[in-house]
Structure 1
Amino acid sequence: MNLEQLFDQNKEKTIEGRYITLENIEPLLNKESLKNDVKIIGESVLGKPIYSYTKGNGKTKIYLWSQMHGNESTTTKALFDFINLLNNGSDLAKELLNSFTFYCIPMLNPDGAKLYTRANANSIDLNRDSQDLTQPESKILRAIFEDFKPDYCFNLHDQRTIFGVADTGKPATVSFLAPSYNQEREINETRLKAINLIAGINEVLQHYIPGQVGRFDDSFNINCIGDTFQYLGVPTILFEAGHYPDDYEREKTRKFVFMSLLASFIILNENDIVHNRNDKYLNIPQNNVSFFDFMYKNVKINYDGNEIITNFVAQYKEELIGNKINFNAYIIEAGDLKGYYGHYEYDAKGALYKDGQSNIPKENQRADFNFDGKAFFVNGKLKN
């Protein structure tokens, strides 16, 4: 099966980039081919509708939700790509719909999506509200869980560009977690089902992004929704869409999330899961904070009258300006920075740092500077 071809055939071309809001997805949910399977299941803090999409009549029930954090939109795009596949009339679609019943919440946090914030309109992280259930969005997610009684839960997120795969120097383009169900991080039958499935997905992804799949930290926190659902006896898989080289809009990463979703359902449908693949799961390298967006090496700076050679790094801040996400680069720190990598790296080869004010890169300063007055950088990148 050609997963890349299936992605190209089913990609929802009307949504792209990082800023995905309710206004972007409502036209899709109102399409003739979808609207009979769409319901409004509640409202956000600011009264925005929260939609569900349900499709299939199969025995195995799959519960998927995206944009629990409003500024994490990659999996929302991939979810609509997958919904397109379910509606394309192919033999694969028919097989999946006969085997599964899919219950999707494409955007759990529409207020956060509009504001491009992690939290909801009450500044509450919904992924820390699974016990107290103080927010309407959290209550909706839990109520559907109890009513739908899923066999598997798919908790769909994005992660920052700072994550790499262990110490390999490769970005964690997609990461997974079978959340713990207790403080001891033990493995029971429920968690093992999630572990086995992740191991199968990883084997598929290694053909496309070798060495770029990570395993998320499994420290237990009952306030997190994945840990709660695992504790309640439903196999739950955390998806983290991360960075692919030069893909800050996450258009390539969405493809690998789509592939992961489709691969997981094919594996489940074919019952192609070895009884215990915990070793395979643990062999997936753990996520590690090892990247900056920019790294500049062997830079000469003038520190208290002394010239020294050092390195410094810069990071993008994603800033919402006029309904568009702007990636603005700011200097983070200078130093040895051993063990860290840059998605963009530049060797200054001993050239002197200059920014018009000093010869020292300062924290939180815009990344506009030059080396020896010859190589000029604007917003972190070398200007041609």
Structure 2
Amino acid sequence: MIKRLFASLMLMAIMPMTAQGDFTNQLYAGYEDFKEPTLDKRRIKHQQLQPLITSYRSNPKFEVQQVGESIEGRDLHLISIGSGDIDVFLWSQMHGNEPTATQAIFDILRFLDAEALQSEKEEILSRLKLHFLPMLNPDGAEVYERRNALGIDINRDALRLQSPEGRALKRLRDSLEADFGFNLHDQSTYYNAELTDKPATISYLATAYNYEKDINDIRANAMKVIVYMNNIIQKYAPGQVGRYSDDFEPRAFGDNIAKWGTSLILIESGGYANDLEKQEIRKLNYVSILSALHTIANGDYKNIPVEDYEKIPRNDRKLFDLKIENATYELLGKDYILDLGIHRQEIDNDGHEDFYNKGVIVDQGDLSTYYGYETFDASGYEIVAPKVYPEKSRVNTGQDWEKSKDFLKMGYAYYRYDFLPSAPYVEEPRNLVSESFNKSKFKLQPGVNATFFLRKEGEITHAVINGFLLDLSKPINGQNFGNALIYR
């Protein structure tokens, strides 16, 4: 009898977890049906959201209201749905260059408006009332910058409230008195899960509300939901979750909103290999946030031990786009062994709708405690200075990349032209320079452009052009190459 009772209790405990797992798996498998197709690039503008907001305003399932304006006069909108007693407030892009969750919000809205998974959706919407503020800093988004038009960080304006965007956020928090809040951000792609080579694709934080980092019921609830979300992400990006520092920041909205009585969950979208536009991370936001809303609605999160929050690895910042290990570098007649850490910095084009890369050496020396999205062991390889091709060339947009490889094998990385394209970059694996270009003496040091060659047994086998590594024994076309630069 006791054994049967124990078995029954165990089955009752497992059933909600199984049902929740099925829901999550269906969300992940069916994501493309709900992905908002008009938002397919990270650099989202305020005007792109207006047709979507208008469509939800005319949809009787949703309530849409203007809740403020930015400094430059762009509208801030709140989109609400649901009839439950538990209020959940989600806001994104208080930093203009952090749009991943903005895209995910519109994916979630499409899901909530669709016919799929009706029982789970009914459970969410009958018990919760959801409030979405998709873009808090539209002026920053316009120029893809962190700060607003006043030049301040809105997330450090919770006390002084000088920005109209910050005042709108405070009014909403006070009027909604939300039980849960989701503060949605992007973080640098160079964060990793501590002591691993895994990028911190998603990082979480249950914000502290005082310097002592005390844990009351409000903060504990946020921690429990975060543990639940971490378990979801582990299915699809194992080992790629970090825990953001919980040092108390008295000026920050997240910390103050937790102090004001809302269980605050901060989500940071970081990096994921070969996902420049963060579309896989957007999908993970969609799945994990909807799963979190489901567990808040059914209350299962309450059974999660709060101690499990501390088991999530801390965020660290020890990733490079490209790490070259154990390369031989000759300086003043002596050979040295160096590791090189290279970042491919994103430089916005005019209009802030796209970007190109500038490859920069950011560190060198013993980098054995660092990691790379791409790592090359250069043991036995010499670093070779790049050369300027001795003859002037004509711009040929139909350049054969395989012909470029022949010149790369001879150590030529720079080519003089009579006329240079107006763009600051070129998609071919060669840097273009003007007739008057005077190449400085080659020296490896942090801050310089990462362009050089690797030679083994007297033969150049690899090229690093603007921070992109090319294996010259393989076809160039199809390798991971972004762009070279134009020097005038």
- Which TM bucket (shorter chain)? over 0.9
User: 1:95 and 1:267 mapped to 2: Cα distance?
Assistant: 10
One-letter amino acid of the structure 2 residue matched with residue 86 of structure 1: L
Question: What whole-Å deviation, never above 9, does each CA across 1:244-277 have from its counterpart, x for those lacking one?
Answer: 1111210111111111101101111221024562
Alpha carbons 2:201, 2:270 under 8 Å: kept:
yes
Q: Helix, strand or coil: the match of 2:98?
A: coil
- The alignment partner of 1:328 has SS state of strand
Q: Is the 8 A contact 2:360 2:450 kept in 1?
A: yes
1:8 to partner: Cα distance: 2.1
Aligned to 2:30, what secondary structure does the other structure show? Answer: helix
Query: Is the partner of 2:227 in helix, strand or coil?
Result: helix
Deviation at 1:348, TM superposition (A): 2.4
Alignment correspondent of 1:196: 224
Correspondence for 2:362 among 332, 349, 353? 332
The answer for the alignment partner of 1:211 in structure 2 is: 239
User: Equivalent pairs: percent with the same residue?
Assistant: 33
Report if aligned partners of 2:221, 2:302 keep a CA contact under 8 Å in 1. Answer: no
**Stretch moving more, 114-123 or 2-11:** 2-11
Q: Tell me, what secondary structure is at the counterpart of 2:307?
A: helix
Q: Write the mapping of 1:1-384 to structure 2, written as runs, cut at 5 A.
A: 1=22, 2-31=26-55, 37-90=63-116, 91=118, 92-275=120-303, 277-322=305-350, 323-349=353-379, 350-356=381-387, 357-372=440-455, 373-383=460-470, 384=476
Residue pair 2:222, 2:263 contacting (<8 A) in 1 also: yes
The residue type paired with residue 219 of structure 1 is: D
> 2:307 and 2:318 mapped to 1: Cα distance?
24
Q: CA deviation at 1:16?
A: 1.9
Counterpart Cα distance in 1 of 2:57 and 2:259: 37
Q: Is the 8 A contact 1:57 1:97 kept in 2?
A: yes
Distance 2:320 2:199 in 1: 10
Task: Check conservation: 1:87, 1:93, Cα contact below 8 A.
Answer: no
CA contact (8 A) 2:57 2:64 kept: no
Q: Is the 8 A contact 1:333 1:363 kept in 2?
A: yes
Residue by residue over 1:35-70, the C-alpha shift from the partner in whole angstroms, topping out at 9 and shown as x without a partner, is 663222111111111121111111111101000000
Whole-Å separation in 2 of the counterparts to 1:359 and 1:209: 40
Rg larger for: 2
User: Does structure 2 retain, via aligned residues, the 8 Å contact 1:20–1:113?
Assistant: yes
| Count of residue pairs brought into register by the alignment | 384
Aligned residue for 1:190, secondary structure, equals helix
Per the alignment, in what secondary structure is the counterpart of residue 3 of structure 1? helix
Structure 1: segments with no counterpart, 5+ residues: none
Q: Closer, same or farther in 2 for the Cα pair 1:279/1:34, shift >3 Å?
A: farther
Whole-Å separation in 2 of the counterparts to 1:6 and 1:206: 18
Q: Distance in 1 between matches of 2:385 and 2:461?
A: 10
Change (3 A) 1:88 1:22: same
Larger displacement relative to structure 2 (126-135 or 345-354): 345-354
Query: 1: CA distance between counterparts of 2:30 and 2:206?
Result: 27
| 3-state SS in 1 of match to 2:225 | helix
- 1:9-51 deviations in Å (ceiling 9; x for gaps): 2111211222111122222112267666322211111111112
Give 1:202 shift. Answer: 1.3
Q: Deviations over 1:281-309 (max 9, x none)?
A: 10001101111111111222122332211
